[in-house]
Amino acid sequence: MDKELTVMMLTWEFPPRVVGGISTHVYNLSRSLAKNGVKVYVVTCDFPGAPQHEVVDRVEVFRTDSSKSPSPDFVTWVYLMNMNMQMEAAMLVKRLDGRVDIFHAHDWLVANAGIGLKHVFRKPLIATFHSTQVGRNGAQYMNERTIHETEYWLTYEAWRVICCSNYMVSHARWAFGLPEDKLVMIPNGVNVQEYAECKNAGLSRFRERFALPEEKIVLFVGRLVYEKGVHVLVKALPKILEGVNVKIVIVGNGYMEEKLLNLVKEMGLAHKVIFTGFVDNETLRNLHRCADVCVVPSLFEPFGIVALEAMAAESPLVISDTGGLSEIAEHDITGVKVYPDNPDSLAWGITRVLLDEDYANQLKNNAYKKVQENHDWDKISQRTKDVYETVLEEYYKSFWT
Amino acid sequence: MHVVIFCWEFPPRRVGQLADYVRELAAQLVKNKVETYVVTSHDYLMGQSEELEGVEIYRVVNPVRAHIGVLTWVLTLNQEVERAAASIYYDTDKRIDLIDVQDWHFIPAAVTLKKAFGLPFIYSVESLEDHRSHGANSLFNVAIKSIEQLGMCEAERIVVKSEWMRDEVIKFYKVSDDMVKVIQPGSSAWISDVLETYISVAEGTKWIKN
């Protein structure tokens, strides 16, 4: 293996296309791998205004036609998008004279393309599972079962399945019946420098856009979907207001937005909650820096990258004690853990942080140290590269070579 | 010459008349010294492959069992078709000359193999979505039409079974007249027309593969 290790990443989102956490994950992982001497090609969906081909910090990004023709449902769209992605990726591999060592697929959203490319070019496939359908909202209905089985299919075809937390490793074993030696745990990372760079002036002017000077800011960042538990935070609000004057700032989009707006109105607390929708990175970082507490009230969370981001932004953290999220912070040391799906417990945690400044400072300082030590992308990409090399050693002994 | 035929039905799996047509086609090709492989689908007749009357038959099973409809069923089956076709390609030392895709179902696999290996394919049209759905334009029909459209654009040659179908293909998909070849099954010239088309496609695309 004296030649450069070459990986083709398949992902349905890559900046500037950001839907969930996969986009940021693949962006940082790819750039760090490139820094560590891996040649990375990213094949992803197109996005208005983004070029079809560009080089981002030595990572070659190719954006393919994401099937804009109408589709009857989301799953069919995903499959059609994969059809296009696979064709264009195949063309790219042919142009590279087949010089791709590994295909790396992120979630079921690119399962078809990854599996097809594996067999056509006879190269190993690695899959990272950022979440599962069973965990998101179950697999009872037809479309959900199709997604669940597509996920299973991807784990079946993958040479290794990477999960971002110990919780997800055991969840994937249970959900797909996977053997232990197929699973690898590599935690998620966060880019600490990005937060350090935005210590700009004018933060108090910025803050005025969201809250009154006497209001403490409680920040939620995430998709407005059931499993993220935003509704639990809203339900905790009356109890929080008994002890502290706060404003809840909710950042993100999702199918629950209207439901949440109605809930807030019904409670007569519309003046205490702001829905910002999706915001750009700079606004988000500034919000993190203004926030008096960051809350991650998820009911199901494979990892919880928003918690890492809060820690990197030096904002005190309150999280629900569930899934991979639970592994990120230690109670009373790097954050406050509360019972999931329990508004009273959540209100208690938030109030505790807001009423005790010394405690809050201690939490955020410890948390900041922890992300620097454990969630540095450089170390994470090195571990990913180790997985590639192990798989390639097995591959060279297989009948495919 | 080495030819791989893709068809979603092949005996004993019969959905319509295409199954028996393809069986006869494969048998005639073997008689004319063409190495013939068929990749098709079956729910339980598996095993790696079966040889029947000199034809090597690969039956693949859908890797995803729960489906929304025929379209999602087809789209996941395509990766298995690719796997089988790639196996044939590597096992024959890459000596495949062309793929004959019977109807729209496995067009995606054929296009990927074309992009990956420079393998040309013929799109043999049995029927069009516009006829099957009586011109319906639901999102489901439009999605299937987009796959037919892809086949029309990427195929080296479009083979139809009647003059009428040639006009329909030209009308719906705006392909040029010289792309479409009419080969009538049952006519005395049937198999020689097929062979002639295969040879002209294989000869005409040699430069792409090398």
Q: From the CA of B139, how many Å to the nearest CA of chain A?
A: 5
Return residues 68-107 of A near B (CB < 8 Å). Answer: 69-73, 75-76, 79-80, 82-83, 86-88, 90-91, 93-94
Q: From the CA of A230, how many Å to the nearest CA of chain B?
A: 31
Is residue A243's pLDDT more than 60?
Answer: yes
A79 contacts on B by Cβ (under 8 Å)? 71-72, 75-76
B118 contacts on A by Cβ (under 8 Å)? 94
A65 contacts on B by Cβ (under 8 Å)? none
Is residue A319's pLDDT more than 50?
Answer: yes
- CATH number of the domain at A192-374, please? 3.40.50.2000
Verify whether the Cβ–Cβ distance A76 to B112 is below 8 Å.
no
Q: What are the residue ranges of helices labelled H in B14-162? A: 18-31, 70-91, 107-117, 129-132, 139-154
- For an interface test with B, give the residue of A79, A97, A133, A150 to mutate (most B CBs within 10 A): A79
Side by side, which strands form the sheet with B180-182? Answer: B50-52, B55-60, B35-41, B2-6, B98-102, B121-124, B157-160, B180-182
**Which amino acid, A136?**
R
Average pLDDT of the residues in B112-134: 96
Side by side, which strands form the sheet with A39-45? Answer: A53-56, A59-64, A39-45, A6-10, A102-106, A125-129, A160-163, A183-185
- Structure-token pair, residue A95: 């142009």
Alpha-carbon distance of A75 to A72, in angstroms, equals 9
Average pLDDT of the residues in A142-154: 94
pLDDT class of A136 with cuts at 50, 70, 90: confident
H/E segment holding residue A219:
strand A216-221
Q: Least CB-CB distance to B139: which of A72, A119, A153?
A: A72
B138 contacts on A by Cβ (under 8 Å)? 72
Q: Where are the domains of chain A?
A: 6-189+376-396, 192-374
Alpha-carbon distance of A10 to A78, in angstroms, equals 13
Is residue A259's pLDDT more than 60?
Answer: yes
Alpha-carbon distance of B72 to A85, in angstroms, equals 16
| Interval B178-198: pLDDT, tens | 999 999 998 999 999 999 999
- Phi (first) and psi of residue A156, to 5 degrees: -65, -45
Is residue B204's pLDDT more than 90?
Answer: no
- For an interface test with A, give the residue of B79, B89, B99, B142 to mutate (most A CBs within 10 A): B79
Is residue A385's pLDDT more than 60?
Answer: yes
pLDDT class of A391 with cuts at 50, 70, 90: very high
The predicted pLDDT at position A1 comes to 45
The predicted pLDDT at position A199 comes to 59
Q: Least CB-CB distance to A80: which of B69, B116, B143?
A: B143
Q: Taking the CA atoms of chain A, what radius of gyration do you get in angstroms?
A: 22
Give burial (CB, 10 Å; 0-12/13-18/19+) of A144: middle
Is residue B90's pLDDT more than 70?
Answer: yes
Please tell me the total count of domains within chain B: 1
Is residue A275's pLDDT more than 60?
Answer: yes
| Interval A49-62: pLDDT, tens | 999 999 999 999 99
Q: In angstroms, how far apart are the furthest CA atoms of chain A?
A: 69
B146 contacts on A by Cβ (under 8 Å)? 67, 69, 80
Average pLDDT of the residues in A214-229: 95
Is residue A399's pLDDT more than 60?
Answer: yes
Q: From the CA of A63, how many Å to the nearest CA of chain B?
A: 17
Q: From the CA of B191, how many Å to the nearest CA of chain A?
A: 31
The predicted pLDDT at position B205 comes to 80
Tell me if A6-189+376-396 shares its fold with A192-374. Answer: yes
> Domain holding B142: CATH number?
3.40.50.2000
Q: Give me the domain span that covers residue B40.
A: 2-209
- For an interface test with B, give the residue of A75, A93, A401 to mutate (most B CBs within 10 A): A75
The predicted pLDDT at position A135 comes to 80
pTM of the model: 0.88
The predicted pLDDT at position A20 comes to 79
- For an interface test with A, give the residue of B64, B148, B208 to mutate (most A CBs within 10 A): B64
| Interval A339-364: pLDDT, tens | 999 999 999 999 999 999 999 999 99
The predicted pLDDT at position A305 comes to 85
Class of domain A6-189+376-396: alpha beta
Q: What is the mean pLDDT of chain B?
A: 94
| Interval B10-37: pLDDT, tens | 999 999 999 999 999 999 999 999 999 9
| Interval B36-77: pLDDT, tens | 999 999 988 767 788 988 999 999 999 999 999 999 999 999
Alpha-carbon distance of A264 to A272, in angstroms, equals 9
Q: Is A145 on the interface with B (CB under 8 A)?
A: yes
Q: Least CB-CB distance to A69: which of B63, B64, B146?
A: B146
